[in-house]
A and B are shown apart, each in its own frame.
Chain A
């Protein structure tokens, strides 16, 4: 049977599975994952390590190949989607090239995709402004703080016209104060650019604060245990995290994790 994904669907997974063959036998990184990401969604994937949340993101990005089920990205296979450059990817580490300045780093995907020099200039300008790094373009990565480096790597992912932003624990290595600040900025950026964002995290407050939809995952085998639609308003100041509504959603996430035995000693 052929699945036509629903309209406005950006990512659509059906019975998706991925098994790694290792020397110690097969490892089921993903099994039976069904998921729908609509245009404009901010979807967080949360779960303990080994639950397959990063693997799922890598399958969307065609950095891993699924071994079972079907998945479409923008109505195409992940490979076609990658080849038509339909997403930007932000890694756990900034992965900036140490031999390029910040603006040269942002120019990297533009050079590869063949944008003209003038176009590159204006896009660098615009994306640097989006992540509040205007004036830092001529600096080298090591001259910036960790938070600024990660913002530069987000700017790099925003520089070309991809509606989908895949973020793999982008703020995981940063301290909590910087992290709060970047979360707030990311929400503003999302509102301004109207991108679809898939965001992997292992922080419950971060997931609840950012998302319109929270996907709770569990390990062994990696699977989805709960999908929570957020009831929080679009406008979210940092203080929203003390409201009962916020705490209630956080509680549901925790229950989802518990149901998947995620809190048990492994």
Chain B
């Protein structure tokens, strides 16, 4: 660790996080205050000390904005204190979402790579398909999610596959675009070199294009896995899936269980951060193995 890592990197981040938590508490007091005053009036609690009032605003069962400690204790309770098979366990719901995310991401990545190889090698595909792939990135494809779920449910396909399908098409586009860029990244001079060796197309592909495309692949995989997770969550939301983080969000919103809602959001964030980190780590390991210059 460099000597200035603490003051240059960790200290600012921690400070900003503390500021956010502080602002959150203040906001929680103010946003929950009107309802608490209402409650107090009904319960005929005479105006008590402000400290007691503040404490009550931070411990409502269904607050407008739950206090950080309420969310943290909810997350802790539902993550570590419940059996993982329980319907209230966050681990259980996260697992459901994770499995369709990973399944969709895997299919999407494989499909994206295959399409990219086709686009790089078949000129007709390049000219006809590539513009559509680029254009489709400007379209809010996620809007199809409810239809995919409902339509597939109508033909008795439910559970993991419809969600994974949404994740597949969300992760497919970034990988295809990134991989096309990567496979085309070798410079002319390197392609000329292969030509002077009279290398076959397959040799040029495996020895030059593929290794050159790896960094691009990982960069787009990071985008793809995040998109995959969003796809799985949104796929769980509109139609009342049985389980999953999206289901938790929907429940929280139906029954105004704000604490549960925030807890589900935290779980989703942790999942996203973990997935992106794993892909990032894989990228680093592969980069190191391929002789990347240490940053």
Contact = CB atoms under 8 A, between A and B. Distances in A.
Task: Report whether chain A binds chain B.
Answer: yes
Interface of A: 61-63, 82-83, 85, 87-89, 91-93, 95, 97-101, 108-109, 111-113, 140-142
B11 to A, nearest CB: 33
B208 A97 contact: yes
Given A62-B195, A141-B291, 16 more contacts: A61-B196, A85-B197, A85-B198, A88-B196, A89-B192, A89-B196, A91-B193, A93-B189, A95-B189, A97-B208, A98-B292, A99-B212, A99-B290, A108-B197, A109-B197, A112-B198
Contacts of A91: 189, 192-193
A112 B207 contact: yes
A61 B195 CA distance: 9
A141 B190 CA distance: 15
Interface of B: 187, 189-190, 192-199, 203, 207-208, 211-212, 214, 290-293
A140 B208 CA distance: 16
A95 B211 CA distance: 14
Contacts of A95: 187, 189-190, 193
A83 B196 contact: no
Most chain B beta-carbon neighbours within 10 Å: one of A88, A92, A95: A95
A207 to B, nearest CB: 23
Contacts of A112: 194, 197-199, 203, 207
Describe B's contact surface by its main secondary structure: helix
B189 A83 contact: no
B199 A87 contact: no
Contacts of A101: 291
Contacts of A61: 196
Contacts of A87: 196
Contact of A63 (B187, B195, B208): B195
A140 B193 contact: no
